């Protein structure tokens, strides 16, 4: 389990960062309990419960460590671990909500929370937290983010971590090329071009063209345009001319300063490609920091906040808070809740987030020394509270947000990269879908 190194000093930057931001009895099925709308039961508090990890493979080892510790502390409960790849988790939940087989507990990120909660699949957790040792121990910024993302002013997950966008760059390659740190967007584009030598299979940047591409593109767009709000009234700003111009420039990097294979890259392929050592820069988040350390060591790269405009202003889009949900159909909610409490407790939450390089939701875990020692985490916190950073809040509360920002538009973004669709047409289509979703949401919440 987690070994605390030295005394505990308050990681004020990490806590401040998050304020700006957000399992059935064995007989009940192979993967979990019933479908959405099933009332479930509190159960005996003993037996087997099913847990779906929403980032299976990537975080399997640390979850199995936490589960082993939980089972040692709770010998009457067994946890069936089911790892689901991040790109598949939305469809997996949607299928189980309709046809049955939901887990007792599942990882649910804020980006998909509203759509799941709207189908009455998740148990509201406010009362359970109030009666729990977790009361007062969860970061208020993450709690507020999750509550907002659920769209109903209720808490449908216990927040476990927050992530943040990071620009990783190879310090050794930059030094050899005589380049300065890519702290501004102009410096970023200069470095992408100068570090590219296609004949030697070396590239300045790796762009995300597969799963998760739209979120990364939004970060690049708003960071360059400097537009500070996702909405003007009830009309989205995604297709503002300044954002169109920003996306044209960003997508124009493809195949010029990036590998051609990037058009299909999800984050695992993108990270592995960068860790191979042939690429100068990578835009990902805090979650891949430990992967880079394992591949490259600590002396060949840095992870810094996303670039600023020339005047030092940093605009970035919000990153979703991850959490654990208790599914309403669970036949053993008592045991499921014990697992959630354990996973969000000081030691387990610190262990998970140190492994992932993310920000803990547990306020005691957020004081642990490893946070200060993780430079990308520390720098992200400092940047957010420099007084020059603006967060563009993405509308996670829209039930259709996850579908619109992923399945409905990732194939279209690939067309932009390939030059068969213009950035303007892509953003106009995206804006039309978002405006419609916003209007529908407002009509239902009047």
* SS3 call for 399: coil
Q: List strands edge to edge, sheet with 158-162.
A: 77-83, 47-53, 105-107, 321-326, 158-162, 359-360
* SS3 call for 281: strand
At 145 the pLDDT is 83
Measuring CA to CA, which residue among 151, 153, 64, 53 is closest to residue 93?
53
Beta strands in 74-192 (DSSP E): 77-83, 105-107, 158-162, 165-170
At 25 the pLDDT is 33
Walking along the chain (446 residues) 10 residues at a time, the average pLDDT comes out as 38 38 36 67 97 95 98 98 93 93 96 90 97 94 86 90 90 96 97 97 96 94 96 97 98 97 92 92 88 89 92 85 96 98 98 88 90 81 65 88 92 98 98 97 83
At 9 the pLDDT is 33
Structure tokens at 146: 């999750």
At 189 the pLDDT is 98
At 3 the pLDDT is 41
In sequence order, the β-bridge partners of residue 202 are 197
At 27 the pLDDT is 34
Global pTM reads: 0.76
Measuring CA to CA, which residue among 224, 362, 199, 355 is closest to residue 289?
355
């Amino acid at each position: 389990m987690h070994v605390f190194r030295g005394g505990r000093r308050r990681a004020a930057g990490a806590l401040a960062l998050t304020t700006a931001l957000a399992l059935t009895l064995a007989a009940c099925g192979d993967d979990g309990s019933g479908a959405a709308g099933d009332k479930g039961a509190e159960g005996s508090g003993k037996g087997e419960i099913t847990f779906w990890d929403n980032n299976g493979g990537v975080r399997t080892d640390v979850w199995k460590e936490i589960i082993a510790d939980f089972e040692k502390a709770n010998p009457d409960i067994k946890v069936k671990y089911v790892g689901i790849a991040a790109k598949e988790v939305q469809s997996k939940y949607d299928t189980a909500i309709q046809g049955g087989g939901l887990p007792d507990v599942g990882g649910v990120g804020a980006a998909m929370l509203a759509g799941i909660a709207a189908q009455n699949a998740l148990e509201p957790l406010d009362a359970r937290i109030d009666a729990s040792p977790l009361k007062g121990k969860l970061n208020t910024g993450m709690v507020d983010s999750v509550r907002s993302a659920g769209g109903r002013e209720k808490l449908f997950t216990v927040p476990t971590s927050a992530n943040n966008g990071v620009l990783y760059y190879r310090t050794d390659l930059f030094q050899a090329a005589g380049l300065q740190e890519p702290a501004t967007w102009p410096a970023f584009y200069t470095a992408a071009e100068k570090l590219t030598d296609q004949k030697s299979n070396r590239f300045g940047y790796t762009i995300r063209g597969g799963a998760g591409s739209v979120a990364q593109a939004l970060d690049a767009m708003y960071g360059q345009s400097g537009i500070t709000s996702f909405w003007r009234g009830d009309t989205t700003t995604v297709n503002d001319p300044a954002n169109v111009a920003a996306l044209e420039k960003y997508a124009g990097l493809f195949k010029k300063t990036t590998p051609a294979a990037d058009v299909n890259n999800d984050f695992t392929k993108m990270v592995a490609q960068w860790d191979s050592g042939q690429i100068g820069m990578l835009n990902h988040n805090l979650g891949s920091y430990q992967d880079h350390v394992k591949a490259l060591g600590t002396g060949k790269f840095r992870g810094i906040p996303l670039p600023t405009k020339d005047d030092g202003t940093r605009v970035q889009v919000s990153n979703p808070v991850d959490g654990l949900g208790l599914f309403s159909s669970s036949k053993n909610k008592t045991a499921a809740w014990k697992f959630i409490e354990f996973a969000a407790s000081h030691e387990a939450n610190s262990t998970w987030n140190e492994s992932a390089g993310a920000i803990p939701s547990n306020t005691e875990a957020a004081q642990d020394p490893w946070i200060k020692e993780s430079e990308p985490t520390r720098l992200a916190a400092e940047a957010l509270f420099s007084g020059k950073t603006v967060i563009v809040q993405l509308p996670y509360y829209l039930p259709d947000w996850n579908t619109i920002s992923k399945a409905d538009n990732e194939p279209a973004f690939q067309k932009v990269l390939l030059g068969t669709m213009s950035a303007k047409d892509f953003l106009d289509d995206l804006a039309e879908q978002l405006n419609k979703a916003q209007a529908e949401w407002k009509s239902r919440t009047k």
